[in-house]
Amino acid sequence: MYVAAKGGERAIENAHRLLAHERRGDPAVPEITAAQIDSQLTLAVDRVMNEGSLYDRELAALAIKQARGDLIEAIFLVRAFRATLPRLGATEPVETAAMTVRRRISATFKDLPGGQILGPTFDYTHRLLDTQLDTHAGQNGAAPEPVRAAPDATRMPRVTDLLAHDDLIEPSPQAAPEQPVGDLTHDPLSFPAERDVRLQNLARGDEGLLLALGYSTQRGFGRTHPFAGEIRLGEVEVEFTPPELAFAVPLGHLTLTECQMINQFKGSATEPPRFTRGYGLGFGHCERKAMSMALVDRALRARELGEEIKAPAQDEEFVLSHSDNVQATGFVEHLKLPHYVDFQAELGLVRRLRAEFAAAAPAQRLDEAAETSVQEAAE
């Protein structure tokens, strides 16, 4: 006899208990702490802060623990929390030229004021699994003390500013303090989207999608001839001007990764040839994300620069509508929710069409097939 699927509430509670059990894993192994994640899985924390749009290492680490290491799930946890936070206001723009730099490389100049600083990078590691890393000796011993240079007081100008002196590259856009910066979390995205909203969208966007789109531009789908003008990682001071004070007060520091891509521009009837720029910026150490973002930002400037729009990475509606992985995973995964009612309606329709197909005389079907193929040939 038919038994309706009752007891949804108990099933949900049991599923949650089972999930907590699976999350904990083998009880013989010590439980991981959010502090360990924060200090040892730093790049995962950086990604969750970026795409979660919230600079809070502890919460991001907690989210990673709660999500069992599923970073998109962790990003979702952070986003849902962020949506409940009140807004105090907007900070002053951060000045990345005044960054306390830990890493700074340029692929366009061998040397430049401030020099090249390799910093903590995987770039020249050999990808050989280090079996010593997880031995007890390796766990207990601290990593060897890094070599540190004396702090250098030299200001480290951005490469793009160095080039701008010769007008070889487009200047940084002028600050427009009276013009509010768009905010996707308070206004729905609409098209055409201006660059502020686009950069916010890309900064929140899925690293994997931006990587693939950036890659596609390098392979010719919207080619923009990029050079990594500069990538820098370091700390910047954040300042806020409270309404009751007339001056900015420092709130603290952010770790940021910034990427300035330098791209060709052939010029137009009114503009001489010069280099243009794509821009990427993200929380923490996120080079892959910042570089991909800069490539996609530049590709999406096609409309502004009068370039022909023919590749996916240049299509702002395509890119900006599909970049958010919390939205994307929600809609893809919602397919596991029940669709009995729609499927029943489709079943009814298909059965009806099949019944009519079966009832039609075979000869008539042949005629129709012949007609169809003639039509197709005509097209």
Binding residues vs other proteins (CB under 8 A) = 1-2, 4-9, 11-12, 76, 79-80, 82-84, 86, 185-192, 317, 321, 326-327, 329-334, 337-342, 344-349, 351-356
Nearest residue (CB) to other proteins, 53 versus 216: 53
Nearest residue (CB) to other proteins, 260 versus 314: 314
Which of 16, 23, 25, 14 has the alpha carbon at shortest distance from 62? Answer: 23
Q: At closest approach, how far in Å is the CB of 184 from other proteins?
A: 9
By CB neighbour count within 10 A (0-12 exposed, 13-18 middle, 19+ buried), where does 25 fall?
exposed
Nearest residue (CB) to other proteins, 189 versus 212: 189
Nearest residue (CB) to other proteins, 110 versus 186: 186
Q: At closest approach, how far in Å is the CB of 358 from other proteins?
A: 9
Cα 218 to Cα 220: distance, rounded to the nearest angstrom: 5
Nearest residue (CB) to other proteins, 22 versus 187: 187
Q: At closest approach, how far in Å is the CB of 334 from other proteins?
A: 3
42-52 vs 71-82: helix crossing angle, rounded to 10: 50
Q: At closest approach, how far in Å is the CB of 207 from other proteins?
A: 19
Q: At closest approach, how far in Å is the CB of 315 from other proteins?
A: 9
Cα 303 to Cα 307: distance, rounded to the nearest angstrom: 6
Nearest residue (CB) to other proteins, 353 versus 369: 353
Q: At closest approach, how far in Å is the CB of 7 from other proteins?
A: 7
